Amino acid sequence: MLKRRLEALRQAKGSASSIASRVNGPILYGAKHPYGRLVTEASYGAITLDDCRAYHAKWIKPRGARLFVVGDLTEAQIRRYFEGAALKAWKGKAPKLPKLPKPDGLDGRIFFVDVPGAKQSEIWVMHFGPTRKAKDYFETWIMSSVLGGGFSSRINMNLREDKGYSYGARAGFSYSRHYGVFSGSSSVVSEATYQALLELSKEVTALQSGKLPATDDELSREKTGAVLALPGRFATASASLSSFRSLVYYGLPLDYYATFVDQVEKVDARKVAAAAKKHLKPRNAVYLVVGDATTPVVTRDGKQDVPLVSGDKQLTLIEALRELAASGTLGKGGLEVLDADALPAP
Q: Identify the CATH number of the domain defined by range 110-338.
A: 3.30.830.10
Q: What is the pTM of this model?
A: 0.94
Least confident of 8-12, 87-91, 237-241: 87-91
Average pLDDT over residues 166-190: 97
Confidence of residue 63 (pLDDT cuts 50, 70, 90): confident
Q: What does the alpha-carbon distance between residue 210 and residue 294 come to, in Å, rounded to a whole number?
A: 37
Q: What does the alpha-carbon distance between residue 321 and residue 47 come to, in Å, rounded to a whole number?
A: 39
Structure confidence by residue, pLDDT tens digits, 117-152: 999 999 999 999 999 999 999 999 999 999 999 999
In the chain, what percentage of residues exceed pLDDT 70? 100
Confidence of residue 83 (pLDDT cuts 50, 70, 90): confident
Structure confidence by residue, pLDDT tens digits, 14-36: 999 999 999 999 999 999 999 99
Dihedrals phi, psi of 303, to nearest 5 degrees: -105, 5
Structure confidence by residue, pLDDT tens digits, 290-301: 999 999 999 999
Which runs of E-coded beta strand occur in 230-325? Answer: 286-291, 298-301, 304-307, 309-310, 313-314
b vs e for 130-154, b when ≥16 Cβ sit within 10 Å of the residue's Cβ? bebebebbbbbbbbbbbbbbeeebb
For residue 80, pLDDT over 90 is answered with: no
For residue 2, pLDDT over 90 is answered with: no
* Start and end residues for every CATH 3.30.830.10 domain found in the chain: 110-338
Q: Comparing C-alpha atoms, which of 110, 220, 199 is closest to residue 155?
A: 199
Maximum separation of any 2 CA atoms in the chain, in Å = 80
For residue 274, pLDDT over 80 is answered with: yes
For residue 84, pLDDT over 80 is answered with: no
For residue 82, pLDDT over 90 is answered with: no
* pLDDT given at position 90: 84
